[in-house]
Amino acid sequence: MRLLIFSLLLASSLSLSAQDRIALENPSFEDVPQTGRVPQSWDNCGAPNQTPPDIHPNDFPPYHFFGVNLRPDDGWTYLGMVARQTDTREGVTQKLAMPMKAGAQYLFSLSLARSKTYFSGSMGEVDFTRPVVLRIWGGDAPCAPGELLALTVPVENTEWLEYVFTLSPTQAWTYLTLEAFYAGEERYNGHVLLDHCSDLVLLPPPLLQEDLEAMDDAKLETTLLESVKKQLSIGKLGDLTAVPYLGVCYKSSVFEQEVAEMGLRRFVNNAPYGELTSLIRALEALRVEKNLALLKDVTRISRKNKNQISPEEYQYFERADAAFEENLASEPIRDKRLEYIRKHRGEIIAELLGL
């Protein structure tokens, strides 16, 4: 994260509640490398008369099952699944820790790749190198194809790439199934490699313009702060440069929270100078006066060598935490933020609709 304090808030302001994400067990398919075996916490979805998927890579004799030697994207091992010209496919399934919410949307990602070589010795050195697609299913039982939630393009990349999906279940599915499938009508031999699954992260419902316009200033403030926090936490908003009006509001709110928890002196000492400069610009936009001047002074003093700090500056710095609270009582930053929201409602609503 490039934003100041936002790196300090990862465990609090940017964290999601347990109800906002569904964590998978063994999401990176960790287990002992072996052919015909699914990793722990996952179940096989292949045909009964066919071998299960494989755990790669094998760094011990006979080395590199089927010629697959790509290094893992995360952890020590990953999963390889094939589709066969006999119209049989490999897949894995897992029961979710909680059901998906019907009608909601979830952000989900995983790393996919294709090996440059994939020859199956069990079938007489048959070439499985061709790319296939990955199908992601929601279901109410192991391997049950209740609803197709996502479908990739053919996975042709031979280095790991992150594939990101928005899953939109129409029912409260309790199982997630990952399946290799064909890129078209032809049935052929191919494979896909999987690693590093994310949690299923619940996305906020879409904001509607008429709802935003009907909100009073306080409700709009709450909505924008929650929306920005959510977008930052799931990685859909890299930083706040693209949403300057939301950024002013969010930075000032985070500033208040952090200083309340750690004090102004510690806050300034922990924050990179460039990020403090960004915060100063946000407070200037709000027309904050007293605590803006205090922040500038404390920042200036904190950047000096100890032997350059005068006794007066030292006393000023030592009293900064108390001074911040006094200033906040006489000039609340939130009041300034609400004035800013009132003045820039149109711009703020436009940025919210663009998230």
Question: Distance from first CA to last CA of the chain, Å, rounded?
Answer: 18
DSSP letter string, 248-297: HHHHHHHHHHHHHHH-HHHHHHHS-HHHHHHHHHHHHHHT--HHHHHHHH
pLDDT per residue over 164-193, tens digit each?
Answer: 999 999 999 999 999 999 999 999 999 999
| pLDDT at residue 151 greater than cutoff 50 | yes
Would you call 181 helix, strand, or coil by DSSP?
A: strand
Of 198, 219, 251, the position where a domain reaches its end is 198
Both 345 and 211 in a single domain?
yes
Residues in a beta bridge with 107 = 166, 201
pLDDT of residue 333: 97
What's the sign of the alpha-carbon dihedral 349, 10, 26, 75? positive
Both 243 and 293 in a single domain?
yes
Of 142, 163, 198, the position where a domain reaches its end is 198
H-state helical runs in the chain: 209-214, 217-233, 244-262, 264-270, 273-286, 290-302, 311-318, 320-330, 333-343, 345-353
Both 244 and 297 in a single domain?
yes
Q: Which CATH number is 10's domain given?
A: 1.20.1420
Both 144 and 241 in a single domain?
no
- Domain holding 77, by residue range, is 24-198
pLDDT of residue 66: 92
Residues 34 and 58: their CA atoms lie apart, in Å, by: 7
pLDDT of residue 123: 53
Q: What are phi and psi of 269, to 5 degrees?
A: -65, -30
Both 311 and 331 in a single domain?
yes
| pLDDT at residue 230 greater than cutoff 90 | no
pLDDT of residue 122: 55
Q: Give the DSSP H/E element, type plus range, for residue 22.
A: strand 21-22
Q: Which CATH number is 194's domain given?
A: 2.60.120.260
Both 52 and 126 in a single domain?
yes
How many domains are there within the chain?
A: 2
Both 147 and 274 in a single domain?
no
Both 166 and 214 in a single domain?
no
Both 9 and 32 in a single domain?
no
Say what percent of the chain tops pLDDT 70.
Answer: 94
More confidently predicted of 177 and 306: 177
* Mean of all residue pLDDT scores within the chain: 92
pLDDT per residue over 318-339, tens digit each?
Answer: 999 999 999 999 999 999 999 9
pLDDT per residue over 100-147, tens digit each?
Answer: 999 999 999 999 999 999 998 655 588 999 999 999 999 999 999 999
Of 198, 219, 234, the position where a domain reaches its end is 198
Task: Choose the weakest-confidence range: 41-50, 155-164, 232-241, 276-285.
Answer: 232-241
- Strands in 68-212 per DSSP E: 78-83, 91-95, 106-113, 119-120, 126-127, 130-131, 133-139, 147-151, 161-167, 175-181, 190-195, 200-202
pLDDT of residue 10: 35
pLDDT of residue 4: 34
Q: How confident is the model at residue 8 (pLDDT cuts 50, 70, 90)?
A: very low
Residues in a beta bridge with 82 = 191
Task: Specify whether the CB–CB gap between 24 and 178 falls below 8 A.
Answer: no
Both 211 and 194 in a single domain?
no
Task: Specify whether the CB–CB gap between 319 and 300 falls below 8 A.
Answer: no
Residues 337 and 334: their CA atoms lie apart, in Å, by: 5
Both 194 and 212 in a single domain?
no
Both 338 and 266 in a single domain?
yes
Look up residue 60 and give its DSSP letter. Answer: S
Amino acid at 264: L
